[in-house]
């Protein structure tokens, strides 16, 4: 997208008033028409009377689609990539006619200053308008900033360029809701309540936190964990083709295949319908290590200088290991744990299918479900009557001995907070 930037220097001009000295001046602003009067009353009530003396001020710069009689017609949050111009409007106060005022437009995705306007104040206070016309190929998608500065003060406004229609709101002094300074938001954040197969868990890891901007394309994402995570959903941010709804992936841990499956097309950006999440309900613990996710085609979002956009959802980090007896190592040989066990919470029956383990025990008709990794069971217990956390369910962890004949473990009401104590112990011996 950087190929467009060379074109941004063409066709630059002022709109409305040719320069600030031709805008409304002291004693005149707020008296020409009803819009000016509304704006004047709004700024006076919020910031104090502009006719009074004081330090130089630059007030509420905003982007707009056009200016009529030196006043903006709306407030823009996002421009369509083919918008004819970027127009910034602002109010200045306590500037002399000879005081310099500059307006700089910047493309934030690579730090390029597109153009800087240099002008002078119009005398005490008034309105300023500056316009930057569109390059022939349209604006590059991504994040922008316009900064007004002079006499040691500056104010900035951020906005985006998108594929969809321009996003605008009513002016604050004409009944519009006052908008906060625009900060980037994650693209098309998943809505668990409306997404088929989605989980209600929260994001516990993402390779590009908080990024919303122009994407390069890649087929790879890499990351490293220093501590284990319990993951329920794997998600990528992907540029889907027309009619495309599924996407194969492979995931390696420390160079060995860890998982593979099919991502399902889910929530999409409301303005760029081809950019959507790809979800896979993975439901397994991710041990500490280095991971590499691979897709068959380079269409995953790549933040400049980062890696492919991946999110992981879960309930919490896998529970921290409690102190263990010396004869209970933390890394164990593979064993088959199916069978009957005698435990301090009653007789237990376990069923192991590869790394997945389910079971039952006699105390309050209890149930178990979880995953085994290197001889460590991480999962959930639940009991009658509700089988729900926290009163009748929560986290459990078992550490099996190397000979596979017994375990030492712990349980907790609800989710166990990492680094804190457990609610109680759980010890068992295999019967047969």
3-state secondary structure of 34: helix
| Shared-domain flag, residues 300 and 348 | no
| Shared-domain flag, residues 104 and 136 | yes
| Shared-domain flag, residues 372 and 408 | yes
Range with the poorest average pLDDT among 179-183, 233-237, 321-325, 343-347: 179-183
| Shared-domain flag, residues 37 and 104 | yes
Both tokens of 75, joined, read 């407030």
Residue with more model confidence, 329 or 388 = 388
Quickly state the pLDDT bin for 358 (edges 50, 70, 90).
Answer: very high
Q: For the chain, what is the domain count? A: 3
CA 157, CA 63: separation in Å to the nearest integer? 8
Contact of 396 with 377, CB cutoff 8 Å: yes
The mean pLDDT of 41-46, rounded to a whole number, is: 74
CB atoms within 10 A of CB 340: 11
| Shared-domain flag, residues 124 and 270 | no
CA 343, CA 309: separation in Å to the nearest integer? 44
Both tokens of 225, joined, read 């964990």
The residue with tokens 């064993």 is 335
The mean pLDDT of 84-95, rounded to a whole number, is: 88
Range with the poorest average pLDDT among 49-53, 85-89, 138-142, 177-181: 177-181
| Beta bridge partner(s), residue 259 | 251
Range of the domain at 153: 2-174
The answer to the question of residue 325 being in a domain is no
| Shared-domain flag, residues 108 and 212 | no
| Shared-domain flag, residues 96 and 16 | yes
Answer whether residue 3 shows pLDDT above 60. no
Answer whether residue 30 shows pLDDT above 90. no
Range with the poorest average pLDDT among 36-50, 85-99, 209-223: 36-50
| Shared-domain flag, residues 346 and 312 | no
| Shared-domain flag, residues 307 and 343 | no
The answer to the question of residue 324 being in a domain is no
Q: pTM (2 decimals)?
A: 0.39
The answer to the question of residue 89 being in a domain is yes
Res 87: pLDDT: 92
The mean pLDDT of 367-377, rounded to a whole number, is: 84
CB atoms within 10 A of CB 158: 17
Strands (E), 81-150: 85-95, 100-107, 112-120, 124-133, 142-150
Percent pLDDT > 70 in the chain is: 77
Nearest to 157, CA basis, from 172, 146, 166: 146
The answer to the question of residue 17 being in a domain is yes
The mean pLDDT of 300-318, rounded to a whole number, is: 81
Contact of 394 with 423, CB cutoff 8 Å: yes
Quickly state the pLDDT bin for 249 (edges 50, 70, 90).
Answer: very high
Res 321: pLDDT: 43
Answer whether residue 31 shows pLDDT above 90. no
CA 70, CA 73: separation in Å to the nearest integer? 10
Res 420: pLDDT: 65
Nearest to 409, CA basis, from 321, 308, 297, 314: 321
């Amino acid at each position: 997208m950087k190929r467009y930037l060379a074109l941004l220097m063409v066709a630059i001009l002022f709109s409305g008033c040719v320069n600030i000295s031709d805008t409304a001046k002291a004693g005149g602003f707020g008296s020409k028409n009803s819009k000016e009067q509304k704006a004047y009353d709004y700024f006076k009530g919020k910031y104090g009377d502009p006719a009074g003396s004081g330090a130089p001020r630059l007030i509420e710069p905003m982007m707009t689609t056009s200016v009529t009689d030196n006043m903006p017609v709306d407030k823009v949050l996002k421009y369509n990539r083919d918008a004819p111009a970027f127009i910034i409007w602002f109010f200045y106060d306590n500037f002399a006619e000879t005081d310099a005022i500059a307006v700089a437009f910047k493309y934030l995705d690579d730090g390029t200053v597109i153009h800087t306007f240099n002008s002078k104040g119009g005398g005490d206070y008034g309105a300023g308008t500056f316009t930057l016309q569109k390059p022939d190929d349209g604006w590059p998608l991504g994040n922008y900033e316009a900064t007004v500065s002079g006499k040691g003060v500056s104010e900035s406004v951020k906005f985006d360029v998108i594929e969809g229609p321009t996003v605008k709101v009513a002016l604050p002094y004409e009944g519009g809701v006052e908008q906060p300074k625009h900060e980037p938001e994650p693209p098309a954040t998943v809505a668990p309540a409306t997404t088929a197969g989605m989980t209600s868990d929260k994001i516990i890891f993402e390779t590009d936190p908080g990024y919303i901007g122009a994407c390069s394309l890649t087929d790879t994402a890499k990351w490293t964990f220093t501590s284990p995570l319990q993951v329920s959903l794997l998600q990528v941010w992907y540029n889907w083709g027309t009619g495309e709804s599924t996407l194969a992936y492979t995931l390696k841990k420390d160079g060995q295949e860890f998982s593979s499956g099919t991502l399902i097309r889910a929530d999409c950006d409301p303005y760029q319908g081809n950019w959507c999440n790809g979800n896979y309900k993975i439901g397994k613990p991710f041990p500490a290590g280095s991971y590499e996710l691979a897709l068959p085609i380079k269409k995953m979002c790549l933040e400049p200088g980062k890696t492919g956009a991946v999110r992981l959802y879960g309930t919490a980090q896998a529970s921290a290991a409690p102190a263990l007896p010396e004869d209970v190592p933390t890394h164990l040989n593979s064993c088959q744990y199916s069978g009957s066990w005698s435990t301090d919470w009653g007789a237990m029956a376990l069923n192991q299918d590869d790394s997945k383990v389910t079971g039952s025990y006699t105390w309050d008709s209890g149930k178990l479900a979880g995953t085994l990794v290197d001889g460590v069971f991480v999962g959930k217990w639940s009991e009658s009557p509700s089988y729900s956390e926290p009163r009748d369910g929560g986290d459990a962890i078992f550490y099996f001995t190397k000979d596979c004949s017994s375990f030492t473990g712990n349980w907790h009401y609800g989710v166990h907070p990492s680094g804190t104590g457990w609610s109680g112990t759980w010890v068992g011996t295999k019967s047969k």
